[in-house]
Amino acid sequence: MGSAASQQKNEVEVPRPTLSPDNSADESSTSSTATLPAIIVTAPSKEDIFAKPPTKTIEEANKEPRPSRQPICVGLEDVRHRHFRRRTLNEFEQTDYTFPVECPLFYLSRVCKQKMETTADTDPDPIKLKSIKNKRTFTVPQKHRLGNCRSVKEFEKFNRIGEGTYGIVYRARDTRSDEIVALKKVRMDKEKDGIPISSLREITLLLKLRHPNIVELKEVVVGSHLESLFLVMSYCEQDLASLLENMPTPFSEAQVKCIALQLLRGLDYLHLNYILHRDLKVSNLLMTDKGCVKIGVVWICNQFTTLFNMYRAPELLLGTKTQTTALDMWAVGCILAELLAHKPLLPGASEIQQVDLIVQLLGTPNENIWPGFTRLPLVGQYSLRKQPYNNLKNKFTWLSDAGLRLLNLLFMYNPLRRATAKDCLESSYFKEKPLPCEPDLMPTFPHHRNKRAAPAVETQSKRSKV
């Protein structure tokens, strides 16, 4: 009698849960309610996460005497290690789920996982800011955490299509419009005080750029943390760097002219709006399956000013403090020559080697052809070889006179005499045969970026060996 009474005393009346179709249980042998010891499943607390796993087995826990009307409670770590630990109901909130002990262990684990994910989504770390007016610290309300921006959770990530110095780029789908976009996560590793004001200016400027040959920045979305910043851009299937590496046959001259014209139109639009790109290279030129070439324009915190690439103008390598549109036009000459020669024109691996390659190709600069050359800050650090000849004609023996004239205008040492984008668009080279083909007639290629996403630095070093 005593044992039966104590057993009845330790039992709790709880309803049997309704399981989902994939976890349906056989209810033919049981009634709608049962008198069973209850298990309370909870999301882990801070103490639970850092607590050592219990060492008692289920059999040992069952042999222990239980306090009256106090069920055994199962936390997340108990399910994970398949151990039970005695707790009281006061340790848990009243909103925790309650299940009979006969519920399958995998079902309990699944509920714990869902509860943990729900808690992480709905209860992120609070954002605390300091007021400018009264210098007091306040917590940003949950409904105002994202401001006017959308959450990055509204985008479904497919695969990584690129990773560089400025961040990681994903191919993603906008769940609202069902549109495929490029989602770029901006690196904020070195920023301790939030987003710099210079970056906010750049983003505001990029949001206003609208041109067929410029990658469109659609909007800015954010994550649950202050440093989680994503740029939503129009998606292009190809970039010229991966195309030049993987295409079986090089572009024809008519196709090269088509690409160059689109590049010049986009660059002319930027320059008319007083914008310098300063980081033009083949990996920043994207192409859609319809043959439309777009310039990737993304600067955050001006990080590219410290990077070296083989498309840099000589005045930048020699330490000029005045930067003009001529920097971009030198890069256009390098890209055009690379497309025509099917390999990089000046594949330098360092600033010293790059300057030497330029001198070998165009000759040694002097004050006559480049006024102010000797006053550049870094001229004394280079020992320039004596080379008086321009070897562009020897490099492109098959190119027409109009094509050579265009390259010479783009590779002028004096930035003030270098051709502008508008000058190049009016060049006779694009009006002679073979005429530029239409973008719709450009060939299509497999989507190499969806198969692999090599870092930009590795790609550049690989192509420089061609």
Boundary of a domain, candidates 68, 97, 122: 122
Boundary of a domain, candidates 87, 122, 157: 122
Please state which of the ranges 11-25, 45-59, 347-361, 411-425 shows the lowest mean pLDDT. 11-25
Q: Is the pLDDT of residue 447 over 60?
A: yes
Of the candidates 112, 55, 110, which has an alpha carbon nearest to the alpha carbon of residue 85? 55
Q: What is the mean pLDDT of residues 25-29?
A: 44
pLDDT tens profile 135-164? 888 777 766 666 678 889 999 999 888 776
In which band, very low, low, confident or very high, does the pLDDT at 193 lie, cut at 50, 70 and 90? low
- Is residue 127 in some structural domain? no
Q: Hey, what amino acid is at 320?
A: T
Q: Which residue range forms the structural domain that includes residue 53?
A: 2-20+28-122
Q: Which residue has the tokens 């049962």?
A: 34
244 with 289, same domain: the answer is yes
349 with 229, same domain: the answer is no
pLDDT of residue 444: 86
Which among 78, 174, 279, 356 is annotated as catalytic?
279
CA–CA distances in Å: residue 130 to residues 112, 149, 316: 36, 21, 42
The answer to whether the CB of 241 falls within 8 A of the CB of 283 is yes
**CA 196/CA 203 separation, integer angstroms:** 11
If DSSP codes are grouped into helix, strand and coil, which group holds residue 157? strand
Of the candidates 38, 19, 8, 40, which has an alpha carbon nearest to the alpha carbon of residue 100? 38
pLDDT of residue 397: 94
Q: What is the mean pLDDT of residues 119-125?
A: 52
In which band, very low, low, confident or very high, does the pLDDT at 94 lie, cut at 50, 70 and 90? very low
Q: What is the mean pLDDT of residues 261-272?
A: 96
Q: Hey, what amino acid is at 98?
A: T
144 with 91, same domain: the answer is no
431 with 321, same domain: the answer is yes
105 with 143, same domain: the answer is no
315 with 408, same domain: the answer is yes
Of the candidates 96, 57, 104, which has an alpha carbon nearest to the alpha carbon of residue 75? 96
pLDDT of residue 198: 74
198 with 270, same domain: the answer is no
Q: Is the pLDDT of residue 267 over 70?
A: yes
Beta bridge partner(s), residue 128: 139
Q: Is the pLDDT of residue 110 over 70?
A: no
Q: Is the pLDDT of residue 75 over 70?
A: no
pLDDT tens profile 284-316? 999 999 999 999 876 654 444 445 689 999 999
Mean pLDDT over the full length of the chain: 76
pLDDT of residue 389: 93
In which band, very low, low, confident or very high, does the pLDDT at 101 lie, cut at 50, 70 and 90? very low
The answer to whether the CB of 222 falls within 8 A of the CB of 230 is yes
DSSP letter assigned to residue 54: P
Alpha carbon dihedral 311, 315, 318, 323, in 10-degree steps, equals: -100
Q: Which residue has the tokens 């195309």?
A: 243
- Is residue 147 in some structural domain? yes
- Is residue 399 in some structural domain? yes
Q: What is the mean pLDDT of residues 22-36?
A: 45
274 with 409, same domain: the answer is yes
279 is an active site residue: yes
The H helix count followed by the E strand count for the chain is: 15, 15
In which band, very low, low, confident or very high, does the pLDDT at 17 lie, cut at 50, 70 and 90? very low
- Is residue 278 in some structural domain? yes
Boundary of a domain, candidates 234, 257, 289: 234
- Is residue 131 in some structural domain? no
Q: Hey, what amino acid is at 16?
A: R
pLDDT of residue 438: 94
pLDDT of residue 395: 93
Question: Comparing 277 with 29, which gets the higher pLDDT?
Answer: 277
DSSP 96-149: SEEEETTS-HHHHHHHHHHHHHHHHHHS-PPPEEE-TTT--EEEPPGGGTTTTS
220 with 246, same domain: the answer is no
Q: How many CA atoms are closer than 13 Å to the CA of 146, on its beta-carbon side? A: 15
CATH number at residue 299: 1.10.510.10
Q: Which residue has the tokens 């010479």?
A: 408
Number of neighbours of residue 390 by Cβ within 10 angstroms: 14
Q: What is the mean pLDDT of residues 166-192?
A: 84
- Is residue 128 in some structural domain? no
290 with 406, same domain: the answer is yes
- Is residue 32 in some structural domain? yes
247 with 259, same domain: the answer is yes
Q: What is the mean pLDDT of residues 51-80?
A: 51
pLDDT of residue 135: 80
pLDDT of residue 141: 75
Q: Is the pLDDT of residue 120 over 60?
A: no
221 with 242, same domain: the answer is no
Of the candidates 98, 84, 106, which has an alpha carbon nearest to the alpha carbon of residue 23? 106
Report angle CA 396, 402, 405 to the nearest 5 degrees: 70
For the chain, what is the domain count?
Answer: 3
Question: Comparing 36 with 291, which gets the higher pLDDT?
Answer: 291
**CA 131/CA 135 separation, integer angstroms:** 5
